[in-house]
Amino acid sequence: MRARGWHWVALALACATAANSWPRRSKAEDPDEEWARKQADWETRNGYMFYTLPEQEPPKRDLPNYSGQDSNPVTKEGALWIPRFILFPVYLVTEGILRQGLGGGITKAEEKEIPARVIDAFRFGEKQQYIIFPVFSFDLGLRANIGVVSSFGDIPVKHTTLSAGALFGGIDFVSGDIGITWSPPGKKWSGALSVGASRRADGLFFGLGSEASKDNESRYNWVGYDVGVNYTVEPFRRGSISLDTGYRYRVFGDDVSGTTIPDLVEEGNISSLPPAYPQGYSAWYLDARIAYDSRQPRPSPGSGVRVSTGFNLGLDPVLGNTSSSWIVYGAGVRGFLDVSGHNHTLSLGAIVIFSDGLRGEVPFTEVPAVSGNGPMPAFVGRVLAGDSASVLNFQFTWPIWLRLDGKIHFAVGNVFDGHLSNFAFEDLRMSFGGGIQAHGAEKTYFEFMAGGGTETFAQGPSVTSVRVLLGVSRDY
């Protein structure tokens, strides 16, 4: 009730604002009857009127008879008053509240140079090289969050960039990182050092490999720290070689609402707790990736082939009941066909990923996942995670605006036990969806996607996963 009351107060204020601030169309002082009628016709043609005539303003002259014709033109207004009457409330909002109210406020703010000061607060420095901007994310099934990312050029030394970011999604969802990137001008390589810490309570677990199922949806919380260095070289077109090494720490818990992982075990839905849960793990890791990509950077046509392979080696000498080590490795190939020469690009790709415990088992958050930002994006987070994975993915992307693409995908694949040992066609799932996505930015980009994911063909490929993502995504 209170909200409704405020609504009407706001509406009344907006009407009053509109009535007082709306620059009028003309109004004659004492026109003769004929021209008053002509003017009224003409004013009606030109939309709704709000009149006030402040005394200090000079009186308007009469509208002259420009055409010199001896009778009024036949009005074509006809029955337009009916849709106008029906649409008046919407018009009042769009014109009175948004244009006059919001517009008036922004105009005043601009006059006082407030936006410039706000922008200066987010983008500053002698060369405007320091940038701070907000990010947000809504990903159905995960915790919505807001945050900031920042970039400080030539800090601490020339050609380096200090970057920092933070996300907040509640008292149990805090994440931050800081890093330095070194990109010498004119060189095709860059180096980076980064440190990050996270505390999140929206971990999703659906089981691993063949046990992964919508029926096993459960949650966990986790705390993690990361420190790492990166070296990337881009020797050819969009191809790259990337080396990462560093230290990673994770510990998990069941301090969440709803079904927890131990509940799944208790109910017999999964056979045992996943590796490293809840005690966590720490790992020195080495990640190496190499990709050959024959495509030219945009806006050149997008046809070409991308072949990539890589591995991630983890060594956990400290935590857990037993120290462990593991390796995750895989390869992918994708062909792109730009059907128009203007980046209307069809692509078909296949990817296989394996993981092996060199000593002990692979922690459940380190095993390959194809959901989230992977090739089956209609599944949220690490819903599809297992010891091995195989996916066939079809995509079509097309430009819809500057640096904004439309995108649809259809993928068939799943995660399996080690080395695809239980691979079967009837155990594959489908992922499909579409949306829009910014291109051009490397790590932070706007994205909207809606999609659906199915159960396996054996279970009947009904849609059991729906993902809606809206936000400024950030690839860590």
Partner 1 sequence: MGAAVALFLLAADGIGCARQVRRYSADGPMWRDEGDFEPFTPVPEVYFSPFAWDAADNMIFRPAARVFAVDPGGEAVNVNSMDEVPDSSWFTNRLSRQRLSPERIARGACDETSLDPSDPWTITSAKPDGANPGFIIEDQQGRAFLLKFDDASQPERATAADVIGSIFYWAAGYETPCNQITFFRKDILQIGEDATATVFGTKVPLTWDRLDPIFEALTPQPDGTWRAAASAFLPGKPLGPWRYELVRDDDANDIVPHDDRRELRGAYVLASWVNHFDSREQNTLSMWVATDKQGRGYVRHHYIDFGDSFGSMWAIRGMSERHGHTYYFDMPHVLQDLVTFGGVPRAWRDNELGPTGKTLGYYNVETFEPDKYRTGYQNPAFIRATERDKAWMARIVAKLTPEAIKAAIAQARLSDPLVESELTRIVLARREKILRRWFRNLSPLAEPTLHEGERGTELCLRDLSVEAGIVNPDTRLYSKHGWRHVRRRKLREVEVGAPRRGSNDAVCVGLPDIDWASLDDPAYLIIDVTGLNGREDDKSRPARVHLYQFGEGRYAIVGLQRPYKLRTPSGRDQYYPRSLEMFALGID
Residues of this chain that bind partner 1 (CB under 8 A) = 23-26, 28, 42, 45-48, 54, 56-71, 73-80, 82-84, 87, 90-91, 94-95, 98-99, 102-103, 106-107, 110-111, 113, 115-116, 299, 340, 342, 344, 396, 398-404, 406, 408, 436, 440
| Sign of the dihedral through C-alpha 141, 143, 148, 151 | negative
Smallest gap from Cβ 387 to partner 1, in A, equals 37
Burial (CB count within 10 angstroms: exposed 0-12, middle 13-18, buried 19+), residue 41? middle
Decide whether 46 or 271 has the Cβ nearer to partner 1. Answer: 46
Decide whether 1 or 74 has the Cβ nearer to partner 1. Answer: 74
Smallest gap from Cβ 451 to partner 1, in A, equals 16
- State the amino acid at position 52 in one-letter form: T
Decide whether 5 or 58 has the Cβ nearer to partner 1. Answer: 58
Residues near 317 by beta carbon (within 8 Å), at least 6 away in sequence: 282, 284, 323
Decide whether 75 or 271 has the Cβ nearer to partner 1. Answer: 75
Residue 246 and residue 226 in contact, taking contact as beta carbons nearer than 8 Å: yes
DSSP states along 155-199: -SSTTEEEEEEEEEEETTEEEEEEEEEE--TT-SEEEEEEEEEEE
Decide whether 75 or 421 has the Cβ nearer to partner 1. Answer: 75
Decide whether 88 or 476 has the Cβ nearer to partner 1. Answer: 88
Closest CA to 436 of 471, 465, 391: 471
DSSP states along 387-431: SEEEEEEEEEEEEEETTEEEEEEEEEEEEESGGGTT--GGG-EEE
Decide whether 103 or 170 has the Cβ nearer to partner 1. Answer: 103
Decide whether 244 or 405 has the Cβ nearer to partner 1. Answer: 405
Q: How many residues are present in the chain?
A: 476
Smallest gap from Cβ 77 to partner 1, in A, equals 6
Residue 182 and residue 231 in contact, taking contact as beta carbons nearer than 8 Å: no
Smallest gap from Cβ 474 to partner 1, in A, equals 22
Decide whether 188 or 342 has the Cβ nearer to partner 1. Answer: 342
Smallest gap from Cβ 469 to partner 1, in A, equals 17
Residues near 8 by beta carbon (within 8 Å), at least 6 away in sequence: none
Decide whether 247 or 398 has the Cβ nearer to partner 1. Answer: 398
Smallest gap from Cβ 185 to partner 1, in A, equals 17
Smallest gap from Cβ 341 to partner 1, in A, equals 8
CA distance to 129, 153, 188, per residue, from 182 (Å): 15, 10, 11
- State the amino acid at position 249 in one-letter form: Y
DSSP β-bridge partners for residue 243: 231, 288
| Beta-sheet pairing, 304-316 with 240-253 | unpaired
The H or E element that residue 50 is part of is none
Alpha-carbon distance 30 to 80, whole Å? 28
Decide whether 403 or 443 has the Cβ nearer to partner 1. Answer: 403
Smallest gap from Cβ 61 to partner 1, in A, equals 5
Smallest gap from Cβ 450 to partner 1, in A, equals 13
Rg (CA), the chain: 30
| Beta-sheet pairing, 404-416 with 388-401 | antiparallel
Residues near 122 by beta carbon (within 8 Å), at least 6 away in sequence: 131, 132, 133
Closest CA to 378 of 450, 285, 456: 450
Smallest gap from Cβ 303 to partner 1, in A, equals 15
Smallest gap from Cβ 64 to partner 1, in A, equals 6
